[in-house]
């Protein structure tokens, strides 16, 4: 079993660590707020005071952080991951961040004799609990092959997509589709409802139609009064990913008109004070304009 490190121990990430512990791995963790990781310490996770200390204690260090700025903060500096890397060690970042930032950190890791993979995940907390989480992974293939068995202890699918930064790019491409799909699903439900079809009936039809992606099946019930109070994927976070996509589109010459429109609807959600909800709350923005009832229970 490997000596692993994990930086960033939020709800979904903590569940990943739980799976790694259950698989028999030794895990040393770090989180800005130690109290949030106490349940993992109770399960046998070890604690480190800095990201550097995690990397020093681990053969393979994982991180899953909110954004590019946060990744830079935990990777750089005297107490960062890079300072704790040495020859033969591996650093795997699972965040949805700028591909350029990934490439820069990967070069710095290589300069220390270590290797880096970017391995963002596709799926939510419920996907993880169901054992359906998947990874897109970029970096040297031989490094991927070393880490793949560990990733498969978390989720059943890990696909190598190429050189460093390409998994981050693939994740951005994936997440823009989630938001665009949710907007389209919301339009379809509201059009059916305002035409005289009960919302629940319209949802049932769409759940069993050709457009019923896993995202629609997971988030579709949200428009029927089942919006979670603990957001799976807050509006601000999907906006971060949509902006990464728009920046990449400009850099590569790919027009992203639907992404641009969806980004503005997410901004409208924040403007209406709905930013702490899952991004599926975009339904309520449209419902308000359509004169329909919101998805949230009073």
Contact 187, 163 (CB under 8 A): no
* Cα-to-chain-centroid distance, residue 217: 18
Rounded distance between C-alpha atoms, residue 176 and residue 163, angstroms? 21
Contact (Cβ atoms closer than 8 angstroms) between residue 4 and residue 27: yes
Cα separation, 280 vs 235, in Å, equals 8
Of the residues 18, 89, 171, 240, only one is catalytic, namely 171
The residue with tokens 């601000």 is 236
Q: Is 34 a catalytic residue?
A: no
Residues 6+ apart with CB under 8 A from 167: 102, 117, 118, 119, 120, 135, 136, 137, 138, 139, 161
Q: Cα separation of 234 and 81, whole Å?
A: 27
Catalytic residues: 171
């Amino acid at each position: 079993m490997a000596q692993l490190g994990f930086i960033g121990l939020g709800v979904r990430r903590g569940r990943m660590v739980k799976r790694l512990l259950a698989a028999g791995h030794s895990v040393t963790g770090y989180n800005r707020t130690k109290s949030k990781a106490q349940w993992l310490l109770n399960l046998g996770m070890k604690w480190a005071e800095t990201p550097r200390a995690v990397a020093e204690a681990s053969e393979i260090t994982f991180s899953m952080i909110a954004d590019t700025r946060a990744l830079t903060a935990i990777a750089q500096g005297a107490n960062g991951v890079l300072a704790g890397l040495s020859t033969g060690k591996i650093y795997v970042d699972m965040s949805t961040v700028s591909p350029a930032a990934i490439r820069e950190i990967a070069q710095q890791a290589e300069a220390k004799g270590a290797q880096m993979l970017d391995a963002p995940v596709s799926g939510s907390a419920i996907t993880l609990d169901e054992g359906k989480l998947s990874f897109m992974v970029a970096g040297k293939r031989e490094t991927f092959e070393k880490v793949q068995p560990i990733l498969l202890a978390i989720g059943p699918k890990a696909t190598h997509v190429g050189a460093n930064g390409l998994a981050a790019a693939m994740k951005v491409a994936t997440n823009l589709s989630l938001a665009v799909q949710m907007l389209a699903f919301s339009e379809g439900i509201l059009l059916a409802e305002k035409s005289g079809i009960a919302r629940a009936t319209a949802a049932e039809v769409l759940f069993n139609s050709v457009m019923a992606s896993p995202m629609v099946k997971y988030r579709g019930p949200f428009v029927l009064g089942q919006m979670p109070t603990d957001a799976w994927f807050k509006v601000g976070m999907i906006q971060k990913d949509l902006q990464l996509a728009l920046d990449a589109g400009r850099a590569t010459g790919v027009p992203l008109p639907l992404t641009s429109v969806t980004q503005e609807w997410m901004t409208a959600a924040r403007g209406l004070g709905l930013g702490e909800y899952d991004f599926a709350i975009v339904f309520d923005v449209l419902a308000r304009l359509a004169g329909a009832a919101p998805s949230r229970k009073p």
